[in-house]
Structure 1
Amino acid sequence: MTTKRTSFIRVVKCLPVLSVGFALVAASIASAQDQRISSQPIRFIVMFAAGGGSDVVARYVADRMSTLQGQTVVVENRPGAAGVIAARQVLSSDPNGLTVLVASNPLLINQIIRPETKFEMLKELTPVASVAPQSVVLVTPPEFPANSLKELIDVAKKRDLNYGTTGAGSLSHLAVAYLLSSQPDVKMQHIPYAGSAPALTAVMANQVELGSSTVPPTIGLIAGGKLKPIAIASANRSVMLPNVPTYAEAGFPALPVSVWTGFFVPKAAPKDVVDRLSKAILTASSGPEAQAKFKELGFEPSTSGAEKFNDELNAEFKIWADVVKNLDPATFK
């Protein structure tokens, strides 16, 4: 009897502790739920195939949002038509802010070079945030007789060069076109490839004298002495290639553009949802863990909120519109 009474007393004494424990767990669950944008899943519609840079970033952000905020995020890939297919799917969805387009520069550029698509990104979509930008780097074969952008232009003034990019109308293409727009005495032949891998392979095989690509695919090749970096075609030096100067540092017009991964919703999406979504994406993409992950992938560990990203997009649109109007339309066929 005494043993049973003692056990009962112990249980009674533990009840306040257990109650506090349960309360803390309940508060934790409630807090996580409070941070959710919605009890419904959010859908990220990615304009690229699975495995690409923006897809990797989207999936990482989705996982972090799930971990940090308890928000369910489903990632779907809808590649094709320079992002217009994915954009149309988002625009045809309920404009409640829960179907989010994950896109990159080609969608913005496409409306300039292919107006017949009748898609105006800046008028139809609201920017939410951009994360993990990538710089563009110009590279040559190791034996090419130039070690700087000035020396490369000097060579190009003496003889015609060709350059390989990740495709007609890509940022890697327009980054070189932007450079050449300030050099009327220089003519280079553009050779488009289906992505970074074949373009960089062509540079290493001396099939083209200059290559233009985002930084991540070049890191190992540069470190292994198979490619020589000449300049960064972005606003700032790359954290992955800190010793390579930008266009501006090399004495040429600055190019304040990077390859971004951006999140967008339809214009009709409620502002409070857009604000909460922007905060959630930026939180998921910030902090030491996220920055280390982005650096590991070769991306720049920076972010832009909705207002800043919108300003960046409008400035970039003007840059590419000026560049494209001086190019032969056949360039993009």
Structure 2
Amino acid sequence: MTDYPWQIGTATGIGSYPGEDPAEALRVVLGELPELPHLPELPARGPGADLTGRTAGLLVELPVHLEPSGWRFSDRPGRDTLRSRDHLARDLDVLEEVAAGHDGPFKIQVCGPWTLAATIELRHGDRALKDPGAVRDLTASLAEGAAAHVADVRRRLPDARILLQIDEPGLPAALAGTVPTASGFSRLRAIEAPVAEDALRTVIETACADDAAYPVVHCCARNVPFGLLRGAGARAVAVDLALVPKRDDDAVGEAIEAGTGLFLGAVPATDAALPPLKATAEPVRALWNRLGFPPARLARQVVLTPACGMAGASPRHVRAALRRCREAARMLHEAD
């Protein structure tokens, strides 16, 4: 039987939260998601706290700075790179203080190589995705930086089992050739699947070497390449359940059969009336039953989450949504 680092009937969050206080956000996460908490991301703090800028601060020997058009590689570290590193350093200090003694699974998040390549510009303005050499350099730098990040978190939480979530919302567009150029007037050439898989594998194998972390890949876009993610070494895949069509049943079924964990986004990530508890759990159960897998495996292999990050939600909705994820996960377990 596949061994998962989480308990049966578990829920967790995706990453981003509203507000600017890392201690308060972490306390909410620890309180509402004690079985699988994670390090909150607070993009409301501004540049360097966003998905791209936060991870760009981890890059080794690839400094960045902020232009009106977005993040761009620099010749040397400047205030924007330093701001990114300062945000993360503060978050990790808070983590060490607030979560000291945590001895269960704990999730951290970084942006993946293809989403970074689609959002960071080269020095002359084109997206890094356009240049295969730049993508290779970016991938190697990210792999090294992510490994150092994992090691730092393990040092601060020595009794925890670390899960590394790699966020790749831009991967489907890179594969489809729909990422716009910097000018926006055309589209960049599609990335071949073996090339995309190889880069992602480099990050996973380096950052998670010697079982330092359990790799999860999160993609909250349509057309999630389940097979590619599994081939790259993802041991769990996180998706927005509402964006997974029936035509993906074969790919999802193959992932389940292979023992891949599924983080299913089943609760609205932005302010909205939450459906009844039973209605929250039903789409998850319907997917499982449609694919014909034993009900007893569902609560072991599936982790419930909000549909995506919750930076745009109100604090009140965040608490309610996280609580609903946990309640629905328990319901799925108890029903089996």
Q: Which protein shows a greater Rg?
A: 1
Same fold by TM-score, threshold 0.5 exceeded? no
Calculate the TM-score normalised by the size of structure 2.
0.26
Q: Which has the higher strand share?
A: 1
